[in-house]
Amino acid sequence: MDRNSVIGFGLLVALLIGYVSYNNYSQNQFLEKKKADSIAYAKAHPQPKANVDSMIAANKAANVAGMSAADSALNDSLRKAMPPAYNGQATSITLENKNIALTLSTKGAHPTGALLKAFKTHKQEPLYFFNGENNQMSALLPIEGGKTSTADLYFTATPGNAANGDKTVDFVADLGNGKAVQITYTLPAEGYMMGYKMTLKGMQATSVPMTWQTAALHTENDINTERTNAQVYYRYADEEHDYFSFINTQSENLDKAVHWVGFRSQYFSTALVNATKDGFKKATVGGNAKLEDKGTVAISKNTLEAALGSDQSVNLQWYIGPNQYSILRSYKVELEDMVPLGYGVMSFVKYVNKWLIIPIFNVLSGFISNYGVIIILMTLIIRLILSFFTYKSYLSAAKMRVLKPELDELRAQYGDDQQTFGMEQMKLYRSAGVNPLGGCLPTLFQLPILFAMYYFFPTSIELRQQKFLWANDLSTYDSIISWTGDIPVITSIFGNHISLFTILMTASSLFLALYNRNMTVQDPNNPMLKWMPYIFPFMLFGVFNKMAAALTFYYFASNMISIAQQFIIQKYIINEKAIHAQLQENKNKPVAQSKWQQRLEEMQKAQMQKAKQPKNK
């Protein structure tokens, strides 16, 4: 709390104390005098709803410390005279099925806890996605003279079973004078999607503002990773999607109708879906992940305006469960977009994940229970799929190696005249039928797979708490060395641990770079390219040291398979003598220049002519 907040709070406390002290004596005398009249009036005249708010205020005013017997009698009388919705005690109701157990409060008629039965926390305790009074689902009801929030009302609860086996709880709050609000929750026998229906009786409105707040609990190994992954997602009624992450307190006003709004932590999520054509009329979404409470990952608070149907009701679907692609996709409202398979500048790789990686993963996990073995098999399958591009890349590198003696001669002949050397180099490539980009393009085609894996493994809940070798949980880092406290520089880069799979990934990347050193033609004029393959693994070590063990193990396995693959191609498939003979034969054939080659040669000639012209003094 900052200085201004402290001052403001202090002033409010001072004003409250002064107000209570000033009114205490006069209020007691006034209440003694009016006691009989107030009781008689309350019994003889049922209160119109316009006076409910003033009655609540009087009720609260009478509930001060040290009130007299007369005060207590008046307070009880006022309470009994008020409608039932303003007079009660909060109790809990459980609504559960095979997968989830929801705790609902009779005050506010909303879930306060969600136990996901099939999952445990990283400490192997029962997993509550949320639990406590920080969770709320409320609506502002149109009452004469103002608004009343369902969060302040007391409901009577009636559990039941539907004919199809669904579990239900029916909440009713009697507001007096024929006014009531009914909230019904319907949970199927299996699954995580719950029905929510709110019906107003005796109140006329076209829409109701709703407030939905969720406080996601800490369930994983690293709360910082959980908070980094805390995001709000939403789908507009026109089917456009968007999202935003929140580390500090943030909010965003959505400027058009919204089909659904969702909130996820790392592996669990919740979403409100409005099935009507126009969705929520408007919404403000937001949250806060900068919390002092280490038991809470983030709090998401959203305000939604829901249109009322002709029967004065709102019908929603409410998802509370794992952030698992296959489950979310089964509901056919595109909730699977809450699984971050690629977004931002890398949004294109989500299609690689959806159409290639996830189908392969699902097939393998259908008959193999060890996820480490699944990762190895996935690596082999993907390397096999990419083997054509790998072969083309190595073949291009072999052609460049065969031409290296001739390139060295050209470099010695033209010395520092780089422009002339460049033109002669292009002529040599063209006459030999070599594409200088032939080694780059196949590598570029492999990058989408590389990035797809970067998103897939850390977001796959299937890998959560799955053991392999020394890693107790493939969804988080495999720590072999850890420490407490902050070590300058080291902690900021590596965290408070060292991951063995990350070490193996880095070591295999260095070995692969050394193995490629003699396989790739080096440009003597650009020494940075020579050393970058050795520097790059160390640059990435700090990043991947905090990543999921499944991801670093995949990159390690991919490196080892690449080394074996390259050895086999170089040793048994590529014949450099045959390649050299073919290139020499190509030189004797007429060469047809492409338009791009012609334009490039013209640009080089123009640059040479410009360089030869004397400079004006």
What are 503-515's pLDDT values in tens digits?
Answer: 999 999 888 887 7
Distance CA 553, CA 559 (A): 10
196 and 239 housed in the same domain: yes
Residue 507 forms part of a structural domain: yes
pLDDT band, residue 527 (cuts 50/70/90): low
> Are 334 and 386 found together in one domain?
no
Write down the pLDDT at residue 336.
92
Would strands 92-96 and 100-105 be described as parallel, antiparallel, or unpaired? antiparallel
Distance CA 241, CA 78 (A): 51
Question: Does residue 482 fall inside a structural domain?
Answer: yes
The confidence score (pLDDT) of residue 124 equals 93
Residue 326 counted as domain residue: yes
pLDDT digits (tens, 9 = 90+) for 236-273: 888 787 877 766 667 888 888 899 999 999 999 999 99
Does residue 609 fall inside a structural domain? no
Same domain, 54 and 197: no
Neighbours of 170 (CB within 10 A): 17
The Cβ of residue 376 has, within 10 Å, a number of other Cβ atoms equal to: 18
- Range in 146-150, 270-274, 578-582 with the lowest mean pLDDT: 578-582
Q: Could you give the CA distance from residue 135 to residue 583 in angstroms, rounded to a whole number?
A: 72
Report d(CA 72, CA 62) in Å as an integer.
7
- 356-380 mean pLDDT: 93
Both 128 and 192 in one domain: the answer is yes
291 with 384, same domain: the answer is no
**Number of domains, the chain:** 3
Indicate which CATH number applies to the domain containing 273: 2.70.98.90
Residue 602 lies in a domain: no
Domain boundary residue, one of 82, 110, 145:
82
468 and 400 share one domain: yes
157/267 same-domain check? yes
Claim to verify: residue 327 and residue 364 sit in the same structural domain: no
Phi and psi torsions of 65, nearest 5°? -65, 135
- Contacting residues for 276 by C-beta, under 8 A, at least 6 apart: 307, 309, 315
Q: Which residue has the tokens 């509901």?
A: 331
Q: 115 near 100, Cβ under 8 Å?
A: yes
Q: Within this chain, do residues 441 and 559 fall inside the same structural domain, yes or no?
A: yes
Min mean pLDDT across 267-271, 300-304, 361-365, 409-413 is at: 409-413
Same domain, residue pair 55 and 189: no
**464 contact partners, CB below 8 Å, separation of at least 6:** 119, 267, 473, 474, 475
**Of 312, 339, 366, at which residue does a domain stop?**
339
Percent of the chain with pLDDT over 90: 36
**Residue 554: inside a domain, yes or no?**
yes
Alpha-carbon dihedral angle through residues 411, 415, 416, 419, given to the nearest 10 degrees: -50
Provide the CA 10 distance to its chain's centre, in angstroms: 39
Is residue 528 scored above 60 in pLDDT?
Answer: no
Nearest Cα neighbor of 272 from 281, 289, 260 is: 260
Q: Is residue 476 part of a domain?
A: yes
The DSSP 8-state label assigned to residue 51 in this structure reads G
Range of the domain at 51: 3-82
Q: Are strands 479-482 and 110-120 parallel, antiparallel or unpaired?
A: unpaired
Residue 499 domain-assigned (yes or no): yes
Q: Which two tokens stand for residue 96?
A: 């559960």
Are both 310 and 439 inside the same structural domain?
no
What whole-number distance in Å separates Cα of residue 346 and Cα of residue 539? 21
pLDDT computed for residue 568 by the predictor: 84
Same domain, 13 and 58: yes
Q: Give the per-residue SS3 of 136-188.
A: EEEEEEEECCEEEEHHHCECEEEEEECCCCCEEEEEEEEEECCEEEEEEEEEC
Q: Which pTM value belongs to this model?
A: 0.76
> Looking at residue 323, what is its pLDDT?
95
> What CA–CA distances, in Å, run from 470 to 161, 453, 463, 467, 504?
47, 22, 15, 8, 13
Looking at 283, 312, 339, the residue that finishes a domain is: 339
